[in-house]
Amino acid sequence: MKSQDHEGARLAQKIAARRTPSSGLTSELRAEAIAYARRRVAQGASQATVARELAVTTMTVSRWLSLPMTPARPVKRRPKMRRVQVVDMKRASGAIVVTTPRGFRIEGLDFDALCTLITRCG
C-alpha cells in the first residue's frame, strides 16, 4: 500500500507541474497515469478516490478508463473525404469558380492559373 501511495503522489506531483491546469499531459505521463488508475480500480478503489490521489477530475479518470488498452502512440488523422462533382471542361459554360470548404471563393482564373494557385497554396 505504501508503494501505491508513493506512486500516486509522484504522479500527482508530475501532473501538477504542468505550465497551466489546461495543459495536456505528455504521452508518457498520460500512459503512466492511465496504468495507475486501472491498477487502483482493479484493486477496488473508486474512480473518485483515484481522481483525488492524482489531483485530477473524476471525469478525467472516467475518460482514461474508457480508452482501449493499446500502447501509447500518436493517432494519425486521415483527411476527410469530400464529395466532388467532376465537370467536363469542354462542356462547362462560364468561368471556373472554386469554393473551399471554409468558404474562400476563387473565380476568374483559367484552368492553368487555377492549377498553379492550388499547387502553390497546397
Quote the CA–CA distance of 38 and 41 in Å, as a whole number.
5
Residue 10 dihedral angles phi and psi, to the nearest 5°? -65, -45
- In the predicted structure, residue 44 carries a pLDDT above the cut 90: yes
Task: For 1-41, write each residue's pLDDT tens digit.
Answer: 556 668 888 888 888 887 776 677 888 888 899 999 999 99
* Residues of the chain above pLDDT 90, percent: 22
- Residue 107 neighbours by CB under 8 Å, 6+ apart: 95, 96, 97, 98
The burial class, CB within 10 Å (0-12 / 13-18 / 19+), for 53 is buried
Bridge partners of residue 105, in order along the sequence: 99
Bridge partners of residue 98, in order along the sequence: 106
pLDDT band at 92 (very low <50, low <70, confident <90, very high): low
The predicted pLDDT at position 94 comes to: 62
What is each CA distance from 105 to 97, 99, 110, in whole angstroms? 7, 4, 14
